[in-house]
Amino acid sequence: MSDDEVDHELLDLLRKSLGLGPPDPSAPPETKVLQNAEFIYDNSIDVALDMRHTKVAAIDILKQMQEREYSTKAWSEHTLHPKAKDESTVNFIFTMDLLNFSFWSEKEEGDRFAVKYGEEEKRWTGYWSLVAALQRALDEDIPITTPGFWVDEEECSEEVLRKVFRSETEEEIPLFEERVRCLREAGQILEEEFDSSVVTLIEDAKNSAAGLVNLLAERFPCFRDEATFERKKVRLLKRAQIFVADLWAAFEGEGYGEFNDIDKITMFADYRVPQILHTLGCISYSPPLEKRIRNYGIIEPGHSWELQIRGCSIWAIELLRREILKLQPDAKVNAILLDFFLYDFAKEKEKNGEEAIPHHRTRSIWY
């Protein structure tokens, strides 16, 4: 090779090292959520993480998870979650996570959207109100978890959907119209691209958790949880990731829940985990942001404050995971189990009346 000839192989290597050029089609899928969360953390001025408290929290969380023998089994042990290890559970989980957003209310506890369901007609609120509504609909022979049903606007009319999501109070389920749109849109995409089958969608990901998350984000606009932070596109992908995580937990890592890269899933950036992270001292807010949260002020979707809370929460859980593995390298823990545990832990503290900062208030279909 003469001095003035171009070494194309070296040029290709240089481009790849700089992240230039087309992606390598043989490379394993990456969601980029964790990398984007680290970018948000590195550029946050209103949300900070405290490593001293994170180290202390890691000790306590590891101890509690070991004492409770916390594992994927905890998912199916929840009363309302489906127990069958079959396609009906796959469809239930997809429907649940398609609609798994925005349950907070400005009303008092007794007046907020609620669903009565079960032998004792227990009153369910928050996320559990959605799960209860789906179970109630199935008991009433409404095929609410069947994708083909969603696109049939005669059978699956607005009147039928209002019956599915009817409340025991005057308040209807938040963002009802957006939930209807998500069902219609997802049903149509499944029909056109995946033979109306969620199982086909899962199979197309070839046992890759990151691949399935990317597939959901690419093909389904209502799963495309992305925003712009400091002029950079960032991916948070809460509901796409929690669908994969729920599959993994429900099927205990086997069958439809078998993924060869499950640890690429991060925590699911929403309301409750940032709240408990604040209680544990792992996360703190600037005075203006903390004032907004404590005064129950609305933070608009895509606002820098909202993205800092969500991105820093993802990174905080990653740091917690790393600290736990320093304490016990063989600990069976990942971001999914930490998220599930901390969500349950936050609900326990709330039930016991323990004081906590309010969760931030953003009305959005993303979480």
Instruction: Return the pLDDT at 302.
Output: 97
> Is pLDDT at 19 greater than 70 in this prediction?
no
Q: In the prediction, which pLDDT does 58 show? A: 98
Q: Kindly provide the b/e burial profile for residues 17-52, where b requires at least 16 CB atoms within 10 angstroms of the residue's own CB.
A: eeeeeeeeeeeebebbbbebbebbbeebebbebbee
Q: Kind of pairing, strands 122-124 and 115-117?
A: antiparallel
Within a domain: residue 147? Answer: no
Asked whether the predicted pLDDT for residue 49 surpasses 90, the reply is: yes
At 6, the pLDDT band (50, 70, 90 cuts) reads low
**pLDDT of amino acid 2:** 54
pLDDT in tens, 255-281: 999 999 999 999 999 999 999 999 999
The answer, yes or no, to whether residue 89 has pLDDT greater than 70, is yes
363, part of any domain: no
What is the β-pairing status of strands 115-117 and 47-49? unpaired
Question: For residue 18, what pLDDT is reported?
Answer: 64
Write down the mean pLDDT value for the chain. 94
Give the pLDDT score at 351: 85
Asked if residue 284 is part of any domain, the answer here is yes
With 80 as the cut, is the pLDDT of residue 156 above it? yes
What CA–CA distance (Å, rounded) separates 354 from 168? 27
Mean pLDDT of 154-167: 98
Would the pLDDT of 3 be above 60? Answer: no
Residue with the bigger pLDDT between 12 and 213: it is 213
pLDDT of residue 57: 98
Q: Quick check: is 344 in a domain?
A: yes
Whether residue 11 has pLDDT greater than 90: no
Spatial separation of the C-alpha atoms in residues 54 and 77, rounded to whole Å: 29
Catalytic residue among 270, 330, 339, 344, which?
270
CA 174 vs CA 80, 81, 151, 269, 359: distances in Å: 21, 21, 21, 19, 17
Are the C-beta atoms of 213 and 238 separated by less than 8 Å? Answer: no
pLDDT > 70? residue 21: no
pLDDT reading at 321 higher than 60 = yes
Q: Which domain holds residue 228?
A: 29-78+223-352
Q: Which of 176, 199, 179 is nearest to 257 (CA)?
A: 199
Determine which of 35-44, 197-206, 311-320, 349-358 has the lowest per-residue pLDDT on average: 349-358
Q: Which residues, in sequence order, are CB contacts of 280 under 8 Å at separation 6+?
A: 53, 57
Residue entry with tokens 């043989």: 26
pLDDT for residue 324: 98
pLDDT-derived band at 170, boundaries 50, 70, 90: very high
Q: What percent of the chain has pLDDT over 90?
A: 88
85 domain-assigned: no
Phi, psi of 8 (to 5 degrees): -65, -35
Taking 70 as the threshold, does the pLDDT of residue 24 lie above it? Answer: no
pLDDT of 353: 86
- Is 92 a member of any domain? no
The predicted pLDDT at position 237 comes to 98
Residue 26 pLDDT? 75
| Lowest pLDDT segment from 5-19, 28-42, 180-194 | 5-19
Whether pLDDT at 13 is above 80: no
DSSP 3-state of 281: coil
- The residue length of the chain stands at 367
What tokens appear for 44 in the block? Answer: 């946050």
Asked whether residue 53 is domain-assigned, the answer is: yes
pLDDT tens sequence across 348-362: 888 888 889 999 999
- pLDDT tens across 219-258, in order? 999 999 999 999 999 999 999 999 999 999 999 999 999 9
pLDDT value at residue 284: 98
Averaged pLDDT, 147-171: 97
Q: What's the domain count of the chain?
A: 1
One-letter amino acid at 91 equals N
Provide the phi-psi class of 230: left if phi over 0, else alpha when psi is between -120 and 50, else beta.
Answer: left
Written as one string, the DSSP assignment of 102-140 is: ----SS-GGGS--EEETTTTEEE-THHHHHHHHHHHHHT
Residue 235: strand, helix, or coil = strand
Q: Which residues, in sequence order, are CB contacts of 312 under 8 Å at separation 6+?
A: 37, 40, 41, 44, 47, 48, 49, 274, 283
Give residue 22's pLDDT band: very low, low, confident or very high (50, 70, 90). Answer: low
Check whether 310 has a pLDDT greater than 60.
Answer: yes
Helices marked H in the chain — which ranges?
Answer: 8-17, 33-42, 51-67, 73-77, 87-98, 127-139, 147-150, 158-164, 176-193, 198-204, 209-219, 238-250, 272-279, 287-294, 304-327, 335-351
Per-residue pLDDT, 239 = 98
Q: With respect to residue 100, please indicate whether it lies within any of the assigned structural domains.
A: no
Mean pLDDT of 193-206: 98
pLDDT of res. 120: 83
- Per the annotation, the verdict on 339 as an active-site residue is no
